[in-house]
Each structure stands twice: as structure tokens, then as C-alpha cells.
A and B are shown apart, each in its own frame.
Chain A
Amino acid sequence: MKRIVITDLHKSFDIAQRKVLDGIHMALAPGINCLMGASGIGKTTLARILAGLAEPDSGTVIWQDFSLPPRVKQGCIGYVFQEDRLLEWQTALANLLFVDTQKNSVRAIDLLTQAGLADSIHKKAADLSGGMKRRVTLCRALMGSHDLLILDEPFKGLDDNIKQTAIKMVQVWHSENPEAILLCITHDEDEVRQLGGQRLHL
């Protein structure tokens, strides 16, 4: 079975030698994995290490039973960052197509419509509200069939109705990609309950 096994992971930052991750052991199985923990405990740092954006000081991350580690394959990691990281001067649609190698505009329009952004498909990201940008960011991450999908506080700033829609979209994506490992970082117990899956605490 595909799994990501994290063993004795350590990470500290140069500034004041602050230890962020101190001997973390964890296994991520296909399906939804909700990672919880207090602020500043290292959830985002762990996600960044998994995505290949940061190197651990020591410890191992083993991609078990993957043909190739997703880090070296194209389009195999999807990521909703804490910040939106959109191309502000481009439209919502262009932002989705930017990350998609197949340039599948049908899929992109479908996702944006599902997210309630049908009227904003051709609006520039800079002209969207905070909540709309967040949904574009989520749609961008759901564009591909990734091996690993990391959602770092993906529903931050969304009102209840829209949050329900967004959670539904994530669940649909998961049902379409049952082999994928989905790691959702959140502080909200309610979100964890609705998403279901494995709970992990840091």
C-alpha cells in the first residue's frame, strides 16, 4: 500500500536555533489525513518538507510503494498554501491553467463553477475578494490527479455556506483519486469532523 512514512524528523531554524520539529514519527496513508496542532508547532514546516520546499535537519521521509517519489514527478503534488499565491494580473481561469500541463480548460471552468465563481472566471485575481481568491487557490490545487495533496488551512476566511461547498469539492476530489494522500492542516474541529479520515496531532 502507498504510504508516506516519516521517521524521527528534526527541523530547526537558524534564528535562535528554534526547534520546530523535534523527532516526528508519522505515517500518511491514502485518504484524508487531518493534521492538527497548536500554532507554531511546525505543521506548515512538515508540509513544506513533504512538498520538497524545505530540507529536514535529520530524519527520513519515505515514499512507500510509489513508482517514483512524487517530488520528482511532474504535477504529482497539489498544494493550497496558507497565502493565496495567485498570479494577480491574470484571470482566475488562467491561474488554474498555469499549473496544468494539459491546459484542461473544461476541467478548470467546471471547478470554478462548482466553487461558485462562474461569474468571475475571466476576472483578474487582483479584482477578486479574499474569499474568492481562496476558492481559486483551492480549485488550482484540485486541477490535477496528484499523488499528494496538501491543504494548509484551505478554508480560512470562507463563510459557512461556501466552506461547505469547498469541503464537498475536496471530498469529491478524494473520491475521484482514492489512491492519493490528502493532508489537510487545520485548527477547526468542525472541518476535521466534516472531512473525515485520519486525525493526526503534532
Chain B
Amino acid sequence: MMHFSSFRRRLACAGRGVRRFLFVTARWFADAAKHLIWLLPVIAFWLLVWHIVAWCVGSEIIIVSPRAAFARLFVLAQTREFWLAVLTSLRRISLGFVLAMGAGAAMAVLAAASRVFSRLVTPAVGVVNAMPLASFVLLVLFLFGRENLSVVVPFVMVLPLVYHNVHKGIIGTDSALLEMARVFRVPFGRQVRHIYMKSIAPHLLTAVSVGIGFAWKSGISAELIGVARGTIGGYLHRAQVNIQTADMYAWTIAIVALSLLIDKGFAMVMRVARKGGAA
């Protein structure tokens, strides 16, 4: 009887959670639609500027008109290669990003726990942070090959960001609360869940939201510099070598669209999670 009532309580709680999720998601779409109404004239204005500049230049090799660029994108989007390249780039860059999140967080924990580790790692992370993307790509190219470029480069580019942010969150944890937990002998796992995570979460979210865009841009750039076959960057490079300006524009539009989609998708997930948490 006890178990049954507990099950019913959990079921009711889950039902409330789903309803809340649907409500917040619907509100997000409504807000996005409202935002789009204002955004459309702005987009139309900049397309017009682009069209006028292209018309003034008068050469489809130097600047492609928006009509030609979107027409080329429409053609490319109907090919298997286009979607394979998108998926390949997305898969590799996402893998690099996720690995960077895990490794960066683990390193931050170790650095907060051990001063020796912190002294060893912090300068190395600083060097990676200061290194130009192009020279780093060339170094990685020799070590890991073309195939793994868009995994390794986003990994190394995002890692310092996650490391610094999570480390800042850990060392910024309220020491008075930790002392209180220590006196009452609160188990360490509970301290992590209720005290440390509260301090780390905002820093981690900043790292994720900045890191997503960073990983995407650095990953595509790495593919382009390293000429990784079957990827977005690889096709972009091919279009440049063959002076297929319309293709270059079409791929760039695809990159920007995907970047916006990922960014907005993450913002939506965060908003739903935050509202869900507040409920």
C-alpha cells in the first residue's frame, strides 16, 4: 500500500513535470514567433544591402547575389553529400565539445583539490588559450590526421574555457556553508550536490553557452585549414579552390544557420530547465 501510494505520488509529480515542460516549450515558441515578426524586416533590409552591393560590384565571382547564393544552397540541400557533410561535422565537433566539457571539469576539480596540479596545469592551459587557431591546426594535423581534426581542435579550444569557469565556480564556493557542512559531518556527495553545484552551475552554463559557438567555429575552421574530406570545412575549401563563389556563400549560409540553430536550441533547453527548476 505504501509502495503504491509512493508510486502514485511519483506519477503525479512526473505528470506535473511533463505539463510544465510542454507549457514552457509552447511559451518559448510563442515568444520566438513574436521575435521573428520583428526580425523579418531586419533580415530583409540586410538582404537588400547585400543585393545592392552585389549589383554594384557586378561580378558573380567576387560577390554572389543573395538570390544566387540561396538558389545554390537549395540545390546543395537536395544532395546526399551536403547532409552527410553536415552530419559528419556536427558529430565530430559535438564529440570534441563533450570531451572538452568532461576533461575540463575533471581538471578543474583536480586543480581545486591539489595546488601542485593547479600549478602544473594552469600555465599549459594559458599557452593553449593564447595559441593561434591556424598554427594549432597545423600541429594537430601532423599528430592526429585530417579525420580527427574537428574532434581535437574544438576539444582543445573549449577545454580552457570549461577549466577556468568550473575552477572559478569551485574556488568561489561559499566557505561558510562548507564549514557548516563540515561541523555537521554532511556526507561529501551531499555537499557537492547542494553547495558546490550551486556555485559551479552559473559558471558551467557560461562555459557551455560560449563553448558551443566556439567549438563550432573552431571545428569548421580546422576542417577548412586541414582540408578534411567529406566535411563542411572540406567542401568550403573545395569551393574556394575551384572559385565556386556561389558554393562558398551557400556553405557559409549553412554554417551560420546551423550555428544559430544550435545556439537557440541550447538557449531553449536552458530556459525550460531553469523554469522547470523554479517551478
When chains A and B are docked, how far (Å) is the Cα of A117 from the Cα of B185? 25
Q: Are B190 and A98 closer than 8 Å at their CB atoms?
A: yes
Closest chain A residue, CB of each to CB of B184: A99
Does B194 sit within 8 A of A, measured CB to CB? Answer: yes
Minimum C-beta distance from A152 to chain B (A): 11
Q: A98-B190, A99-B186 are in contact. Are A79 and B198 (CB under 8 A)?
A: no
Q: Are B177 and A85 closer than 8 Å at their CB atoms?
A: yes
When chains A and B are docked, how far (Å) is the Cα of A156 from the Cα of B182? 23
Q: Are B185 and A74 closer than 8 Å at their CB atoms?
A: yes
Minimum C-beta distance from B10 to chain A (A): 17
Convert A81-93 into 0s and 1s, putting 1 for each residue whose CB lies closer than 8 angstroms to a CB of B. 1010101011000
Residues of B within 8 A of A81 (CB): 176, 180
Scoring A53, A73, A74, A87 by chain B CB atoms within 10 A of each residue's CB, the highest score goes to A87
Does B171 sit within 8 A of A, measured CB to CB? Answer: no
Does A76 sit within 8 A of B, measured CB to CB? Answer: yes
Segment 21-67 of A: residues with Cβ below 8 Å from B: 51-53
Does A129 sit within 8 A of B, measured CB to CB? Answer: no
Query: How many residues of B sit at the interface, in one of the four size bands?
Result: 10 to 19
Does A75 sit within 8 A of B, measured CB to CB? Answer: yes
Convert A183-198 into 0s and 1s, putting 1 for each residue whose CB lies closer than 8 angstroms to a CB of B. 0000000000000000
Q: Are B187 and A79 closer than 8 Å at their CB atoms?
A: no
Q: Are B176 and A75 closer than 8 Å at their CB atoms?
A: no
Q: Are A53 and B177 closer than 8 Å at their CB atoms?
A: no
Minimum C-beta distance from A63 to chain B (A): 16
User: Quick one: which of B177, B180, B186, B195 contacts A79, CB cutoff 8 A?
Assistant: B180
When chains A and B are docked, how far (Å) is the Cα of A140 from the Cα of B176? 15
Does A154 sit within 8 A of B, measured CB to CB? Answer: no
Residues of B within 8 A of A99 (CB): 180-181, 184, 186
Q: How many residues of A contact B (CB 8 A)?
A: 21
Does B2 sit within 8 A of A, measured CB to CB? Answer: no
Segment 162-191 of B: residues with Cβ below 8 Å from A: 176-177, 179-187, 190
When chains A and B are docked, how far (Å) is the Cα of A78 from the Cα of B183? 7
Q: Are A51 and B185 closer than 8 Å at their CB atoms?
A: no
Closest chain A residue, CB of each to CB of B185: A74
Does A101 sit within 8 A of B, measured CB to CB? Answer: yes
Q: A90-B194, A98-B194, A101-B187 are in contact. Are A53 and B176 (CB under 8 A)?
A: no
When chains A and B are docked, how far (Å) is the Cα of A85 from the Cα of B184? 12
Closest chain A residue, CB of each to CB of B178: A85
When chains A and B are docked, how far (Å) is the Cα of A89 from the Cα of B141? 48
Residues of B within 8 A of A87 (CB): 177, 194-195, 198
User: Quick one: which of A53, A73, A78, A90 contacts B179, CB cutoff 8 A?
Assistant: A53
Minimum C-beta distance from A134 to chain B (A): 14
Residues of A within 8 A of B182 (CB): 52-53
When chains A and B are docked, how far (Å) is the Cα of A78 from the Cα of B187? 15
When chains A and B are docked, how far (Å) is the Cα of A26 from the Cα of B188? 33
When chains A and B are docked, how far (Å) is the Cα of A144 from the Cα of B179? 18
Residues of A within 8 A of B195 (CB): 87
Q: Are A98 and B176 closer than 8 Å at their CB atoms?
A: no
When chains A and B are docked, how far (Å) is the Cα of A195 from the Cα of B195? 34
Convert A131-166 into 0s and 1s, putting 1 for each residue whose CB lies closer than 8 angstroms to a CB of B. 000000000100010000000000000000000000
When chains A and B are docked, how far (Å) is the Cα of A53 from the Cα of B184? 11
Q: A87-B194, A98-B194 are in contact. Are A75 and B185 (CB under 8 A)?
A: yes
Residues of B near any A CB (own CB < 8 A): 176-177, 179-187, 190, 194-195, 198
Residues of A near any B CB (own CB < 8 A): 51-53, 73-79, 81, 83, 85, 87, 89-90, 98-99, 101, 140, 144
- Name 13 A/B residue pairs within 8 A (Cβ), A-sorted: A52-B183, A74-B185, A75-B184, A76-B185, A77-B184, A77-B185, A85-B180, A87-B194, A87-B195, A89-B198, A98-B194, A99-B180, A140-B184
Given A79-B180, A101-B187, A140-B184, 15 further pairs, Cβ under 8 A: A51-B183, A73-B185, A74-B185, A75-B184, A77-B183, A77-B185, A79-B184, A85-B176, A85-B177, A85-B179, A98-B186, A98-B190, A99-B181, A101-B185, A144-B184
Across the A-B interface, give the 7 residue pairs with the lowest CB-CB distance, nearest first: A99-B184, A74-B185, A85-B180, A79-B183, A85-B176, A51-B183, A75-B185
